[in-house]
Each structure stands twice: as C-alpha cells, then as structure tokens.
Amino acid sequence: MNVRKLISGALLFFGMMLLVFAFNEYHSTSSNVSRLLTGSPTNKSLWLLISGSVASIVGILGLVRK
C-alpha cells in the first residue's frame, strides 16, 4: 500500500469523524438556542460540517484516483 492511499484513507476517516462531531454539535442545546434566536446554527457546527465534508471528499478522491 503506498503512502498516498494511506493518507487518503486517514483523511476519509478523520473527515467522517468530523462529520459525526458536526452532527452532534448541530443538535446540541447551544445550537438549538442559536437557531431559535438567529435562525442559523452555531459557527462551530458549520465549520465542523464544512471541514468534515472537504476532508471526506479529498480522501475519497485520493482513494479512487490511480
């Protein structure tokens, strides 16, 4: 297994973990209060969601490419 596949797998794993944390943060009490008052979730949940999505996509692309 070459190093690029190993790094891509790690990126995919950490991206999925960030998405799990984002899901938990999105449904937390502070995020619910923020959505109630401002209409948008907290910045932390948005950054976790964005960074998890990007890391997962880069990991998948790295595993699929030759």
Collapsing DSSP to helix, strand or coil, 29 comes out as helix
Kindly give the confidence (pLDDT) of every residue in the chain, 66 residues in length, as a single tens digit, with 9 standing for 90 and above. 689 999 999 999 999 999 999 999 888 888 888 888 888 878 888 899 999 999 999 999 999 987
Quote the pLDDT of residue 35.
81
CB atoms within 10 A of CB 43: 10
Average pLDDT, the chain: 90
